[in-house]
Amino acid sequence: MNRLFSKSLSTSAAGANLKPPPPDSAAISKLILSSPTTTLQSPLSSKTPWTPHLVNSILKRLWNHGPKALHFFHLLDRHHHQYIHDASSFDLAIDIAARLHLHTTVWSLIRRMRSLRIGPSPKTFAIVAERFASAGKPDKAVNLFLNMHEHGCFQDLASFNTILDVLCKSKRVEKAYELFRVLRGRFRADVVTYNVIVNGWCLIKRTPKALEVLKEMVERGINPNLTTYNTMLKGFFRAGQVRQGWEFFLEMKKRNCGIDVVTYTTVVHGFGIAGEVKRAKNVFDEMIREGVLPSVATHNALIQVLCKKDSVENAVLVFEEMLRKGYEPNVTTYNVLIRGLFHAGEFTRGEELMRRMEKDGCEPNFQTYNMMIRYYSDCSEVEKALGLFEKMGSGGCLPNLDTYNILISGMFVRKRSEDMVVAGKLLLEMVERGFIPRKFTFNRVLNGLLLTGNQALAKEILRSQSKSGSRLIRKFRL
């Protein structure tokens, strides 16, 4: 295929006025994946009507093959002068580069944005800061925020709230609180700022600290909103403080806080996870009586609770009931129910449900595939696990790091020589796609290959790691 369009325009008079079909991001992504990096430029036709939407869609499809995604981005930037990348495309490329720890590339892309006068924006810095924080480098995330202005992007209340949120969600709440106390006056902290800090303390189950922040915001004349109260309510249940959570919910009702579907969903899920399924069902029924319509998320919470703490058959009944009422299940609905069926040993019904979700136009995601691959692997159904893996590679949901770790681990269930070869090839593929295997995984695969007489593949893996400059090199006598 020399062009991205598989169908040519009709040469008849009737077809002369027809426009070419719009570019298909799925087809282009497959073409990029199947093309060697050295010849990737040829399939990127200059006649393709590139748009930010198309480019972003391709980058997202290639997300779990970072090197190919970045190569595609750079080729368009360098060789298709009629097209200039949008700021949103730069942000996606920067996120991919940061995930791969390609810091030189990250700053090169930021400089390119500045040269084109399309950024960087506060969102760009939030992306990089989040990658720093998730990599265990919160100080770098904070320094990045404090030095944004040096790159033409000035700090404001919104960017202040964002860096606090990034720190809190990476469980660096103490650092977020320290930054909050130092700079809240300069940026005039608002209800969003306080909500972020309350959520941070709740995430690490320190509800007394969250209550202190709640009290402080009231003393400073900032009125808590429903998000504040819902966050606090969820914090109690997350910390296993069911009684306090219920009392807080009753107080919200008493004070006419305008409790909504999120409030009820939180209580349904909270009671259920605590094993109080009857109370969870009662709250679900109560919200309907009170005129609060359950959402798909509410049904998902109840289905998950029933799968974990009651019976999968009752969960199926709730699923069928939501369909009868006209609700459209989302990927989370299917995932929690498929997991429940697989956990109960109902593999055939779980597989049928996956086919049903696809038929209904709900695309499986990483969680769907990874969960099913894990169950198949644990039950020695390695061929089925590999079949799903192949399906991921040929569709719009490329395997992620968890997929490779789960499948490699599954190759050790049967302890066969041929399974060790598959594990070795998976390891090579994940490195090629920009993923860094854990030392445990790396050493386990090498040991498995050596013990089953596959020294040649073990040597190839070591050479591959040596070329990539990986720190995972282990000394082996082969």
Contact at 8 Å (CB) between 333 and 303? yes
pLDDT given at position 36? 80
For residues 237 and 270, is the Cβ–Cβ distance under 8 A?
yes
> By the 8 A CB rule, do 6 and 30 touch?
no
Residue 224: the pLDDT is 95
Q: What is the pTM of this model?
A: 0.87
Token duo for residue 291:
């005129």
Report helix angle 261-273 to 296-309, nearest 10: 10
Q: How far is CA 225 from CA 31, 105, 222, 231, 293, in A?
A: 50, 42, 9, 10, 21
Task: Pick out the chain residues at pLDDT < 50.
Answer: 1-20, 471, 473-478
Per DSSP, the residues of 18-76 read: PPPPPP-HHHHHHHHHHS-GGGTTTTS-TTS---HHHHHHHHHHTTTSHHHHHHHHHHH
Q: Rounded to an integer, what distance in angstroms lies between the CA atom of residue 151 and that of residue 145?
A: 11
pLDDT for res 20: 47
127-138 residue pLDDT tens: 999 999 999 999
Cβ burial of 36 (10 Å; 0-12, 13-18, 19+) is exposed
120 upstream amide cis, omega within 30 of 0: yes
Q: What local confidence, expressed as pLDDT, does residue 68 receive? A: 93
Q: Report the distance separating Cα 32 and Cα 58, nearest Å.
A: 9
